[in-house]
């Protein structure tokens, strides 16, 4: 087996700009430094109207399309809109049906129609409000409409706050597979109101926490140590935990994206746990299991394989597994024959040009990639 290792990290990690007190509320800001495409991720509590004002100032657009989904639109669009309109913007709310199935070309076409109807031009902008679905779809509409207009992200799920809204990946699914069409289009800003998480179902919170744990596991041992005794408080949305945890996760994602904006290598580390996760999701036809749940199972698997292949010291997988279990996440793959998992993995293999860039843990807090064939990732005798 040729396990070529690459992508470890060496540079010191960046500190975010720290706590800012604003209007008596706890706030923080994490810069994303990408030259002229730089922006900032701003975190706060119960400040949607202020977010609207700040986003409008940042965009400076006369017309704004607010792309959102029903559960979020109902609760949060009015306050955000009030803020956007207070700066003189004309806001058109566009509500797309909920669920990953909406991330498709049909919905994209409907967005363009609505943009034209509302008179959006090159001086206009998009604001996405919701989880990764609203962000990916609305972001791609912004990336492609009139060859690209500015947008900002207002993520309302843990997954979107910690992961999907940062880094500029936008896109839609095709019937043949997920995220097959898209573009890199960096937002002008990411504005997080952690108060919106109160209405997010616990299961969704836990699934998002899987990506947060992933960030700690691949990148930041101190963060992992910090999170271990606090995961229950995170899920219970204890502000003293949620805000710093999201801030840290955002800073990690920002740092990875800064160093590898277009996924040359380092950004692949974010795929830790995703090789098996994609196979699980594919077999489940993306139903019944949330992405973060599949990632949780995939991380346990990848950590166990990291130990077996001699990358990580004994005990690494057990520690990660314990944390995921306490986050109420599943850790064992659904029972299916090895051959079924292998064939699902060969899709990733094709995408990656022959071998799979399998992300292994070197220890808690550090990861690298190994170019492996599916049959080396899932050795003979492996069973779910
Ligand atoms: N662009 C990227 O870099 C990137 C990274 C990871 C994932 N993604 C994409 O993100 C998507 C998954 O994102 P997600 O997990 O946020 O799913 P989602 O957007 O479907 O949101 C999950 C559910 O929660 C609801 N919801 C959202 N916010 C809520 C709130 N505050 N209160 C109550 N309900 C709320 C949504 O309506 C939906 O029903 C996938 O399509 C995935 O491909 C993109
Ligand atoms: Zn993921």
Question: Per residue in 242-253, pLDDT tens?
Answer: 999 999 999 999
Please say if the pLDDT value at position 7 is more than 50: no
Which is catalytic among the residues 268, 291, 349, 357?
Answer: 291
Catalytic residue status for 291: yes
pLDDT exceeds 50 at position 180: yes
Instruction: Provide mean pLDDT across the span 218-234.
Output: 98
Q: Which residue has the least CA distance to atom 13 on ligand 1?
A: 132
Residue 25 pLDDT: 55
Residue 227 has pLDDT above 80, yes or no: yes
Provide the mean pLDDT of the chain: 92
Pick the closest to residue 99 from 206, 164, 163, 173 (CA basis): 173
In this prediction, residues 121-138 reach a mean pLDDT of 98
Among this protein's residues, is 278 annotated catalytic?
Answer: yes
pLDDT > 80? residue 2: no
Residue 22 confidence class, pLDDT cut points 50, 70, 90 = very low
pLDDT above 60: residue 18:
no
Regarding the beta carbon of 131 and ligand 1, being less than 6 Å apart is answered: yes
* Residue 26 pLDDT level (bands cut at 50, 70, 90): low
Closest ligand to 292 CA?
Answer: 2
Give residue 286's pLDDT: 85
**267 in catalytic set:** yes
Where does the pLDDT of residue 59 fall: very low under 50, low under 70, confident under 90, or very high at 90 and above?
Answer: very high
Taking residues 217-227, report their average pLDDT. Answer: 98
- At residue 92, the pLDDT reads 98
pLDDT of the residue at 6: 45
Does 93 participate in catalysis according to the annotation?
A: no
| Active-site residue identified among 27, 58, 274, 357 | 274
Average pLDDT over residues 273-282: 95
The more confidently predicted of residues 15 and 44 is 44
Q: Is residue 200 predicted with pLDDT exceeding 60?
A: yes
- Catalytic, 349? Answer no
The minimum-distance atom of ligand 1 relative to the CA of 169 is 1
Q: Is there a catalytic annotation at residue 45? A: no
Is the pLDDT at 107 greater than 90, yes or no? Answer: yes
- 21 pLDDT above the threshold of 80: no
293 is catalytic: no
Q: What pLDDT is recorded for position 20? A: 41
User: What distance in angstroms lies between residue 165's CA and the mean position of ligand 1's atoms?
Assistant: 10
pLDDT > 80? residue 11:
no
For 292-306, the pLDDT digits (tens) are 999 999 999 999 999
Q: How far is the CA of 271 from the centre of ligand 2 (A)?
A: 7
Average pLDDT over residues 336-340: 93
3-state SS, the chain, equals: CCCCEECCCCCCCCCCCCEEEECCEEEEEEEECCHHHCEEEEEECCCHHHHHHHHHHHHCCCEEEEEECHHHHHHHHHHHHHHHHCCCCEEEEEECCCCHHHCCHHHHHHHHHHHHHCCCCCCCEEEEEECHHHHHHHHHHHHHHHHCCCEEEEECCHHHHHHHCCCCEEEEEECCEEEEEEEECCCCEEEEEHHHHHHCCHHHHHHHHHHHHHHHHHHCHHHHHHHHHHHHHHHCCCHHHHHHHHHHHHHHHHHHHHHCCCCCCHHHHHHCCHHHHHHHHHHCCCCCCCHHHHHHHHHHHHHHHHHHCCCCCCCHHHHHHHHHHHCCCCCCCCCCCHHHHHHHHHHHHHHCCCCEEEEEEEECCEEEEEEECHHHHCCCCCCC
Q: Between 327 and 26, whose confidence is greater? A: 327
> Per the residue annotation, which of 9, 27, 54, 211 is the catalytic one?
211
The rounded distance, in Å, linking the Cα atoms of 208 and 17 is 24
Nearest CA to ligand 1 atom 18: 131
Please work out whether the CB of residue 160 comes within 6 Å of at least one atom of ligand 1.
yes
pLDDT at 353 over 80: no
pTM of the model: 0.93
Least confident of 12-26, 86-100, 298-312, 337-351: 12-26
Q: Which atom number of ligand 1 is nearest to the Cα of residue 76?
A: 31
User: In the predicted model, what is the mean pLDDT of residues 345-366?
Assistant: 87
């Amino acid at each position: 087996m040729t396990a070529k290792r690459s992508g470890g990290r060496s540079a010191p990690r960046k500190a975010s700009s720290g706590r800012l007190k604003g209007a008596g509320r706890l706030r923080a800001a994490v810069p994303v430094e990408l030259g002229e495409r730089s922006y900032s991720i701003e975190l706060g509590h119960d400040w949607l109207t202020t977010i609207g004002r700040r986003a409008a100032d940042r965009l400076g657009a006369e017309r704004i399309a607010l792309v959102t989904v029903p559960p979020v639109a109902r609760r949060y669009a009015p306050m955000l809109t009030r803020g956007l309109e207070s700066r003189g913007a004309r806001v058109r709310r566009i509500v797309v049906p909920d669920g990953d199935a909406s991330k498709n070309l049909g919905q994209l076409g409907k967005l363009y129609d609505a943009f034209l109807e509302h008179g959006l031009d090159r001086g206009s902008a998009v604001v996405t409000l919701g989880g990764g679905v609203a962000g990916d779809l609305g972001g791609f509409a912004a990336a492609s409409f009139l060859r690209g207009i500015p947008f900002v992200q207002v993520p309302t799920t843990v997954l979107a706050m910690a992961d999907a809204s940062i880094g500029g990946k936008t896109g839609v699914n095709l019937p043949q597979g997920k995220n097959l069409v898209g573009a890199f289009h960096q937002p002008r800003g990411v504005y997080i109101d952690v108060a919106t998480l109160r209405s997010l179902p616990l299961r969704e919170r836990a699934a998002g926490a899987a990506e947060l744990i992933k960030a700690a596991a691949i990148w930041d041992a101190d963060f992992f140590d910090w999170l271990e005794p606090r995961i229950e408080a995170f899920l219970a949305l204890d502000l003293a935990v949620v805000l710093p945890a999201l801030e840290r996760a955002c800073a990690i994602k920002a740092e990875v994206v800064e160093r590898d904006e277009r996924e040359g290598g380092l950004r692949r580390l974010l795929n830790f746990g995703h090789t098996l996760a994609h196979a699980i999701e594919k077999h489940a036809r993306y139903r019944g299991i949330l992405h973060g749940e599949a990632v949780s199972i995939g991380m346990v698997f990848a950590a166990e394989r990291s130990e077996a292949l001699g990358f990580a010291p004994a005990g690494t997988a057990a520690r990660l597994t314990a944390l995921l279990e306490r986050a109420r996440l599943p850790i064992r793959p659904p029972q299916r024959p090895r051959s079924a998992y292998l064939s699902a993995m060969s899709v990733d293999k094709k995408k990656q040009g022959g071998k799979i860039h399998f992300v292994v843990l070197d220890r808690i807090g550090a990861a690298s990639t190994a170019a492996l064939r599916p049959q080396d990732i899932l050795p003979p005798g492996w069973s779910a």
